[in-house]
Every structure is written in C-alpha cells, then in structure tokens.
Amino acid sequence: MRSLRSQSAAVSFSFFYIILLCSIAMAAEDPQKLVKAAVANEVKSTEQQTDFWMYRLDKENKSGTKVQDMVETKDGIVARLITVNGRPLTAEERAVDDQRLATFATNPDDQKRKREDQKKDQDKSMALVRALPDALLYEYAGIDVIDGRQTVRLNFKPNPSFKTTTRETIAFRATEGTMWIDQQEQRILRLDATLTHDIKIGWGILGHIDKGGKLFLQQQYLAPGKWRINKLITKATGQAFIFKSITLKQRQSATNFRPVPATLSIGDAVNLLKKQETTVALRKP
C-alpha cells in the first residue's frame, strides 16, 4: 500500500511538473498572447461587472492622508470619510460628512453627475489597459509566487510601431517595467512601470511629462473571477501649457474586502456605511 501511494504521489508530482513546464513554455513562446488574454479578462470584468464589494481605502497625496469606507453599487461607488491626516473626525466634521451622504442619497442629479465622473475615469483607465498588448513589447522573465498565487513575470518596453490615438496612451512611448500575470486566472496581478525619458505633448507646446515617473499597481484575488486593486502608487512631474507645473504623487491601499448585494441602491449603500465602525488605528508619527 505504501509503495502504491509512493508511486501515486510520484505520478501526481510528475503530472503537475509537466503542466508547470508547459505553462512556462507557452508564456515564453508568446507573451504578447498572454497579455492579450489577461487584458480581455480585465476589460470584461470591468464592463460586465457582476460582483460588488465594500472595503476600506487609505489614500495619501500631497494634501495629506485620509481613510474612507467604500461601497460599490451598480450606480457607482459611495464613500464615507473616516479619518483625516491620521486623526478621527471631530463631531462637527462627522455631522457634515454624514449630511453630505444623506443629501447625496436623495439627490438624483448629484448621483448622475457622480456616476458620469466615475465612468469618465473608468474609460480613461480602460483606454490604457486596452492598449497594453499593442503599445508594449513583452519578454518572458520567469515565474514568481505573489500572495500565494503563481504568476508569469514579463518585462516590457515600448513598441516602436505603436501609434498613439489618445492622450492617455502617450506615456507608453517611454514606459519600461514588469508585469506579473496570474497563471490560473490570466489576470494582471501586478504592474510596475517607469518613464525612461521625457514625454513631449504636442511637440512640447502643450506640455511634457518628466523622466522618472512611476506607476505601481497590484490586484487582490477575492474569489474565482473576482479581483480588485488593493495597491496603487503614482508619481509624476511635468508641465502643462508652458507655465503650469504638474506634480502628481499618490498612494492608495485597499483592505478588508467584503461582498455586498448586487441589488444595493445608493441609499442602501449610505445606510450600510453609517453602520460601520468609524475608528481606525491612528498613524504613527
């Protein structure tokens, strides 16, 4: 019996080893195809969303830090402020933010504007994602395990034959870095990109983006087919219309993901947010 088990274990190990080798060979053979498949999955997940989540978002930019509780609904994302610059809200600030939410929950015009703004941001992000297979050239760089997920690591550089069609994709002309694709679900688990030289917009007349800009993005696996961004870091400097300097430095992290019903309305989301614990650990100096 022990011999049979040993043989069975050996066969199983060999089987999975062969699968691993085959997957590595496929990634090495056609990384562009792997990126195209991952991008198709990202676009489908965004445009045909069937899952909705509640989570805590920690944001930091040049203005300071804030923590918000977020709830996704079919009509947009609703946020409730928890802390500002590492301190809880005062009673007055809490009342003001809760009144903002109450007004928002009963104002269809505000909801429509918010939904349209979020849709514009999503469309810009999707323009970048859709361009990934064509805008960059990929090279197989290995296999890594990240957060318990086996990923294919790909290095990338600009594709000289890519023609920019939108303002969002201009930065691809000078973008190099690494992408990690989840092997099982073919989703982009991590992206680490850097601008290797200055980018001129409109021959430099409309502005430029300085060399050294960074983008780091990571997604978290929540359930089969369900992923959300849990870390986002952006850093860029430049100039617009000759006189206006641009400095972008932002860090976001999302935690404590919990599923919510797909039928949740804006009003339901507001009520759910108000029931949540509003205290968080203060930032250490």
How far apart, in whole angstroms, are the C-alpha atoms of residue 216 and residue 178? 10
HSE-up (13 A, CA, CB side) for residue 38: 29
Whether residue 198 contacts residue 211, with contact meaning beta carbons closer than 8 Å, is answered with yes
HSE-up (13 A, CA, CB side) for residue 112: 3
Q: Helix 31-47 vs helix 108-135: angle between axes, to the nearest 10 degrees?
A: 170
Q: What is the pTM of this model?
A: 0.83
Q: What is the pLDDT along the chain (285 residues), one digit of tens a residue?
A: 444 344 444 444 454 444 455 555 454 558 999 999 999 999 999 999 999 999 999 999 988 999 999 999 999 999 999 999 999 999 999 999 999 999 999 999 999 999 999 999 998 889 999 999 999 999 999 999 999 999 999 999 999 999 887 777 888 988 999 999 999 999 999 999 999 987 776 544 456 677 888 999 999 999 999 999 999 999 888 766 555 667 778 999 999 999 999 999 999 999 999 988 665 544 444
Q: What is the identity of the amino acid at 221?
A: Y
What is the per-residue DSSP string for 46-97?
Answer: HHT---EEEEEEEEEETTEEEEEEEEEETTEEEEEEEEETTEEPPHHHHHHH
